[in-house]
Structure 1
């Protein structure tokens, strides 16, 4: 990644919002390929996404995706192109959804040992749709806060590139190539960008996006990440009636890690949006997967199927619990108490030995 300190300052949330529109992970400067699609910027800038999280729900006919990306960029404008199986509706999402799900699915600490003494030493290691080129149809446009979001239909990957170029963005050849299968399959696309007048507003506070579209199955677009040059890290939360498994070719080649599986009471969360999602499907299944070689490891979109049983899983992490008496480690306190008790006993015993024998009263004479 390039750019100075200002480059890393706030695009994190701006790109997070843009990326959220498609649930992705990005990694190739000057623009990135990601699960959702591609982040695009100008030819002289660097945009990179290291981690992505997505909340997924499907009611049998309609899929809802909430997506959040961890991104850095030095570009004044960043745009996102996201493939969806059908034209999508886009809205802002509540970032608290991700914060709460992250907390709920954190590994639970289990004490496997106890520490009675403190460790000694010196530390531990530790837009406007008019004029769209042929092959692109502008289906909808909406302004969401500082973002311009457009829903597109496309029959030609090159036309998508031309559409973005007209708006000042460059579509790298590898991303355009990755778009081709989605175009061939008749998918639609969401294009989001920071509005030009908001180009200086990268302050780390932009929200994720909620993308809703008709779909015949639960799918998470991931194929475009295969063109990434850097390690891709993904986390998905599927909210459904039952536990789900990943059943795509990418999962078959490299099994994802189950982060969490279990029911979550909608009344236990503070986010209204998350509570509404849980009311429609309270079993949360979270998978994580890291791709160190995206080009060979990512071979498909992510797809899901009901698991054989609703087996709950809460990860645990072994910890060493401190034994304390008040604010102090129990070992030194007990040792000091023992030494003190021993000292008192020794002093008491010594004084007893040195004390003069008591004088005996003379016996009275016999008559």
Structure 2
């Protein structure tokens, strides 16, 4: 399967990113791997993920992921292959979920000092539901401009052949990275822009919601180990309580907590986000950067309840202006002080120059 677009421009593959687990923001190399799976194009083209954001929720048996992806590509066809622990159901997601979560978890300004004076300075392929031996087509759905297929595979070679027949040009690194997921019995989601939509594709697609059975809260990350460039990830987990990363990758390289705290569903505008928060209102977000993915990424991401629901909101220091009306308070108060001093000096000078009062002579005999 493949996705196509004529324009060598930013391809927002949000819908193609078909979530597979936790939320992330990812920078990925051309025709290689990203945290969400394998990004593939033709052998003579360059395709890279510029950003990826996803939201993860798990109810104990079923995992739900919303994911949005931006990419850059000069390829006429580009696609993404995503492993999931079990066959997935796919639907469109509300992009406002991502906008609101980003705003809710953004660092808060904290006043650390005040500025009384102004700063004085100067500058600063072919379609079909048929499958080869070892590959089973578990489901197909049309979502807007996308054709989405859910696959099962018992053999990595057969999966690679099936994908190649449908337009995916798989580098050897991607085929190698798919093999462990096949061995573990995972399923795969493949998406492409429908051929009739290619001429009108403008580079923006709505994000997707992917739901699949899972025995644990997991974000498939192993495919990113074949990436050549730095991988940056951000995960949003919505649950009843705070969660921690408990996988071998986190043990070796500790992720950074971006945000942890409860969010009231009544405070958000997106109906989809409100529903997710009603099912699990504690939001935990982790960030992690891998400069050497091949050695630093050694496992999928796995999440488990934390020991306590310790809230954390990132902050940054700002200097607040002290003003009186539209003016900085320093100059205003200084001017007022100088003016008061001048009035006092003038008043004192006039008092010293004034003639002494004369007393009228007392009457005789007084």
Structure 2 partner of 1:264: 263
**C-alpha distance in structure 2 between counterparts of 1:216 and 1:89, whole Å:** 16
Unaligned runs of 5+ in 1: 1-5
- Establish whether residue 132 from structure 1 lines up as the match of residue 131 from structure 2: yes
Deviation at 1:364, TM superposition (A): 5.5
Unaligned runs of 5+ in 2: 1-6
**C-alpha distance in structure 2 between counterparts of 1:242 and 1:80, whole Å:** 32
Instruction: Tell me, yes or no, if the aligned pair for 1:223 and 1:300 is still in contact at 8 Å.
Output: yes
Structure 1 partner of 2:345: 346
Deviation at 1:200, TM superposition (A): 4.1
**C-alpha distance in structure 2 between counterparts of 1:344 and 1:145, whole Å:** 77
1:22 and 1:194, CA in 2 relative to 1: closer, same or farther beyond 3 A?
A: farther
Deviation at 1:280, TM superposition (A): 0.8
Report which stretch shifted further, 204-213 or 162-171: 162-171
**C-alpha distance in structure 2 between counterparts of 1:362 and 1:110, whole Å:** 71
Structure 2 partner of 1:106: 106
**Local SS of the residue matching 1:216:** coil
Deviation at 1:50, TM superposition (A): 3.7
**C-alpha distance in structure 2 between counterparts of 1:290 and 1:70, whole Å:** 18
Report which stretch shifted further, 99-108 or 328-337: 328-337
Instruction: Tell me, yes or no, if the aligned pair for 1:161 and 1:171 is still in contact at 8 Å.
Output: yes
Structure 1 partner of 2:284: 285
Instruction: Tell me, yes or no, if the aligned pair for 1:83 and 1:182 is still in contact at 8 Å.
Output: yes
Instruction: Tell me, yes or no, if the aligned pair for 2:18 and 2:189 is still in contact at 8 Å.
Output: no
**C-alpha distance in structure 1 between counterparts of 2:361 and 2:178, whole Å:** 119
1:70 and 1:344, CA in 2 relative to 1: closer, same or farther beyond 3 A?
A: farther
**Local SS of the residue matching 1:102:** helix
- Establish whether residue 219 from structure 1 lines up as the match of residue 218 from structure 2: yes
Instruction: Tell me, yes or no, if the aligned pair for 1:21 and 1:36 is still in contact at 8 Å.
Output: yes
Instruction: Tell me, yes or no, if the aligned pair for 1:26 and 1:33 is still in contact at 8 Å.
Output: no
Deviation at 1:204, TM superposition (A): 4.7
- Establish whether residue 298 from structure 1 lines up as the match of residue 297 from structure 2: yes
**Local SS of the residue matching 1:98:** helix
**Local SS of the residue matching 1:16:** coil
Structure 2 partner of 1:311: 310
Instruction: Tell me, yes or no, if the aligned pair for 2:18 and 2:90 is still in contact at 8 Å.
Output: no
TM-score relative to the length of structure 2:
0.91
**Local SS of the residue matching 1:149:** strand
**C-alpha distance in structure 2 between counterparts of 1:311 and 1:264, whole Å:** 14
**C-alpha distance in structure 1 between counterparts of 2:245 and 2:275, whole Å:** 24
Report which stretch shifted further, 287-296 or 316-325: 316-325
**C-alpha distance in structure 1 between counterparts of 2:315 and 2:141, whole Å:** 44
Report which stretch shifted further, 46-55 or 136-145: 46-55
**C-alpha distance in structure 1 between counterparts of 2:241 and 2:303, whole Å:** 11
Deviations 1:262-294 (A, max 9, x none): 111111111100111111111111111111111
1:314 and 1:353, CA in 2 relative to 1: closer, same or farther beyond 3 A?
A: same
Aligned residues: 355
Instruction: Tell me, yes or no, if the aligned pair for 2:242 and 2:306 is still in contact at 8 Å.
Output: yes
**Local SS of the residue matching 1:7:** coil
**Local SS of the residue matching 2:350:** helix
Structure 1 partner of 2:71: 71
**C-alpha distance in structure 2 between counterparts of 1:350 and 1:96, whole Å:** 71
1:303 and 1:357, CA in 2 relative to 1: closer, same or farther beyond 3 A?
A: same
**C-alpha distance in structure 2 between counterparts of 1:50 and 1:232, whole Å:** 10
**C-alpha distance in structure 1 between counterparts of 2:115 and 2:320, whole Å:** 6
Structure 1 partner of 2:19: 21
1:327 and 1:74, CA in 2 relative to 1: closer, same or farther beyond 3 A?
A: farther
Report which stretch shifted further, 128-137 or 176-185: 128-137
**Local SS of the residue matching 2:111:** strand
- Establish whether residue 246 from structure 1 lines up as the match of residue 254 from structure 2: no
Deviation at 1:81, TM superposition (A): 0.6
- Establish whether residue 54 from structure 1 lines up as the match of residue 54 from structure 2: yes
**C-alpha distance in structure 2 between counterparts of 1:130 and 1:274, whole Å:** 34
**C-alpha distance in structure 1 between counterparts of 2:195 and 2:19, whole Å:** 19
Structure 2 partner of 1:3: none
Report which stretch shifted further, 114-123 or 85-94: 114-123
Report which stretch shifted further, 93-102 or 15-24: 15-24
Structure 2 partner of 1:196: 195
Deviation at 1:361, TM superposition (A): 6.2
Structure 2 partner of 1:325: 324
